[in-house]
Structure 1
C-alpha cells in the first residue's frame, strides 16, 4: 500500500482516538521530531490497513489484543515484497511496539505479539569521514570560482559546509539558524535545535564566523531576524537538496567518493577531534547525541584508520 493510501485509510473511532492521543504524547512528552511523528503515523496506519486485508475486517482496539506473532511476521513479509529494507522495517516495528505499550499504559488493551517478534538484523555501517585536507577544501569558496553562479551563492554554500565541518552540525540544524543568532561580530558560539527539539550551544571557529559574515555581506535578500539566514536562489529558505548538490559538485572537483556527503562532514568533525585527543563526552555534547554509545561509533572509525596506518607502515606488520 502506498504512503498516501495508508494515510487516507479509514480507522475505527476508537483506534483513531488512540492513535491521535499516542502521537500527541510522543510529540509533547517524548519530544520526538515532527518527521518522526509523521513516519510513525504512516507506519501504524500502514499496518492497520494491512490487517484489514489480512483478517478481512477493519481492526478495532479489541481486535489488536488478539494479534499473534504470525500476524506481525505476515506484515513484515509483505513489506519485504515491496523491497523495503531492514532498517525501515526496524523503524516500523519500533513504532508499532511504542503504540502497543501506549495502549497497555492507558488500559486500552494488551498487544503482547509486538514484543515477541524479533526484528530483522541490521548491518551497522561505520561513518566514513573525509580526509582532513578534503574536509578543509570543501569549505573553500574559491574551489568553485569557475562555476556560472553568483558569488553570494558560492559564499553561502561555503558557509553552510563550514558549519557542518567546523561545528559538527546536522544539515537541518545549520539551515534553521535564524539571522539574529548568526555567529558573527565576535559571537563565538551558536545555539542550535537538534533532534527532539533539544537545544545545545556549539563553539564556532573564527574561520567559520568569517565564512558566514562573508555570505551575509553579499546576500541580496532581506534577512528578517527570526527567519533562517541561509536563503535559496529566489530568496526562500535554503533547501538541504541544494547543499547536497553543491557537495556533489565538490566531490567531482576533488575526486572524492560518493560517501562524501554533507552529513559526512559531521562525521569528519567528530573523527578528526578524536584523532587529536578530543574527549568523548565533550564530543557527545557537541554532536547532540542522546547516548554515548552513538558517539562511540567514531572511536571505531578512528581505530580502523590507525590500524590501516599501522599495517602500512610498521615493519613487523609488513612481515605478517
Structure 2
C-alpha cells in the first residue's frame, strides 16, 4: 500500500513537477483516507475501496463540516491517485471516477480597495524594522506582478531581468510565464537586493540565489511571507485578515477594471483555464453595480 503511494508522489514530483506545497496536500489527503480505511477495514488494499466505503468516508467529512471545495479537492486527489494505479496496473477501476460533491455558489475573492492599498503601503514604508526594505519589496512585488506566494518564496535572482523589466515565473505544475516588472516593484527590489539582502548574506555567510530572505540570511518560506503580511496588516489598524493571495486578486481586479483583456490577465496570472480568470469579471461587475447605485440618480427609489 505504501509502495503505490510513494510511487505516485514520485510521479507527481518528477513527471508532473508539482510544487512541494501541492505534493504535501496530495500526501495529506491520501494519508487521511488511508487512515479512515484502516479504521473501517483493518488491513486493506487500495482495490478494497468500494462505493459503500466512500459514502461512509464522505459522511465523516460532512460531520467535520468541511467546505464543499475542500471535499472536492480530496476527491480530486484520490481520483488522480486511482487513475495512476490503473495506468500502472495496480488496479482495474477507479471507484472515485463519478463521485462528485455539489458545489455551493462560488464566493468572490477578497481584494483590496484603493484606500486600503494606500494604507498598506504607507504603513510598510513607515516601518522602523531593520527589515523594512525587504517588506516594501515584498508588497510591491506581490501587488505589482500578481505572483503566487509560493512563486515569490521560490524566486531567484536569475529569474529577474531588470533591463527588460520582466520576471521569469515558474508556476504550478512547472508551467512557465513571463510577467512585467513595473517601476515601483523594480525600484523596491533593486533597493532591497543591493542593500539589506547583500548585507545579510555577507553578515551570515550564506550563499544562495533566493531573493527573499529572513533576518539570518536564509530563504524565507511561504509561511514566513504570510506572517510578515499579517504583522503589516495588524499595524494598519484596518482590522481585516490579510492573505498574500489578496494581492493577486487585487492585481487581477485592477487590471480588468482598467480595461485589460481577459486573455491577457489569464496569461499574466498563469491560469490554465479561462474560467478561473473569469471570477474576477464578477468582482468588476459587482463594483460597477455598486458605483452605479451610488452615483446614478435614477438607480434606486427615493
Q: Compute the TM-score of the two structures, normalised by the length of structure 1.
A: 0.83
RMSD (Å), alpha carbons: 2.5
User: Do 1:168 and 1:287's aligned partners in 2 also have CA atoms closer than 8 Å?
Assistant: yes
| Aligned pair partner of 2:79 in 97, 102, 115 | 97
Judged with a 3 Å threshold, the aligned counterparts in structure 2 of structure 1 residues 132 and 103 are, in CA distance, closer, same or farther, namely same
Stretch moving more, 252-261 or 230-239: 252-261
The residue that corresponds to 2:133 in the other structure is 155
**Offset at residue 187 of structure 1 (A):** 3.9
User: Do 1:33 and 1:195's aligned partners in 2 also have CA atoms closer than 8 Å?
Assistant: yes
The residue that corresponds to 2:146 in the other structure is 168
Q: Identify unmatched segments of 5+ residues in structure 1.
A: 1-14
Judged with a 3 Å threshold, the aligned counterparts in structure 2 of structure 1 residues 73 and 177 are, in CA distance, closer, same or farther, namely same
Deviations along 1:99-149, one digit per CA (max 9) or x if unpaired, are 22223333333345323433253442211221234324434576424x3x1
| Aligned pair partner of 1:213 in 184, 190, 210 | 190
**Offset at residue 284 of structure 1 (A):** 0.8
| Cα distance in 2, alignment partners of residues 101 and 216 from structure 1 | 45
Q: 5 Å matches for 1:299-318?
A: 299-318=281-300
| Cα distance in 2, alignment partners of residues 303 and 106 from structure 1 | 47
The residue that corresponds to 1:63 in the other structure is 48
| Cα distance in 1, alignment partners of residues 282 and 209 from structure 2 | 39
Judged with a 3 Å threshold, the aligned counterparts in structure 2 of structure 1 residues 172 and 32 are, in CA distance, closer, same or farther, namely closer
Check if 1:38 corresponds to 2:13.
Answer: no
Judged with a 3 Å threshold, the aligned counterparts in structure 2 of structure 1 residues 287 and 144 are, in CA distance, closer, same or farther, namely same
| Cα distance in 2, alignment partners of residues 235 and 210 from structure 1 | 21
The residue that corresponds to 2:3 in the other structure is 17
Q: Secondary structure at the match of 1:319?
A: coil
Deviations along 1:178-215, one digit per CA (max 9) or x if unpaired, are 2334444x341111211112221111012211111111
User: Do 1:193 and 1:199's aligned partners in 2 also have CA atoms closer than 8 Å?
Assistant: yes
Judged with a 3 Å threshold, the aligned counterparts in structure 2 of structure 1 residues 102 and 252 are, in CA distance, closer, same or farther, namely closer
Stretch moving more, 162-171 or 172-181: 172-181
| Cα distance in 2, alignment partners of residues 118 and 229 from structure 1 | 41
Judged with a 3 Å threshold, the aligned counterparts in structure 2 of structure 1 residues 100 and 217 are, in CA distance, closer, same or farther, namely closer
User: Do 2:110 and 2:246's aligned partners in 1 also have CA atoms closer than 8 Å?
Assistant: yes
Stretch moving more, 121-130 or 216-225: 216-225
Q: Compute the TM-score of the two structures, normalised by the length of structure 2.
A: 0.87
| Cα distance in 1, alignment partners of residues 29 and 218 from structure 2 | 31
Deviations along 1:200-242, one digit per CA (max 9) or x if unpaired, are 1111012211111111232122277852122111211123344
The residue that corresponds to 1:258 in the other structure is 240
User: Do 1:129 and 1:260's aligned partners in 2 also have CA atoms closer than 8 Å?
Assistant: no
The residue that corresponds to 1:222 in the other structure is 201
User: Do 1:130 and 1:260's aligned partners in 2 also have CA atoms closer than 8 Å?
Assistant: no
| Aligned pair partner of 1:189 in 158, 166, 173 | 166
User: Do 1:191 and 1:202's aligned partners in 2 also have CA atoms closer than 8 Å?
Assistant: yes
**Offset at residue 262 of structure 1 (A):** 2.3
Q: Identify unmatched segments of 5+ residues in structure 2.
A: none
User: Do 1:311 and 1:318's aligned partners in 2 also have CA atoms closer than 8 Å?
Assistant: yes
Q: Secondary structure at the match of 1:200?
A: strand
Q: Secondary structure at the match of 1:317?
A: coil
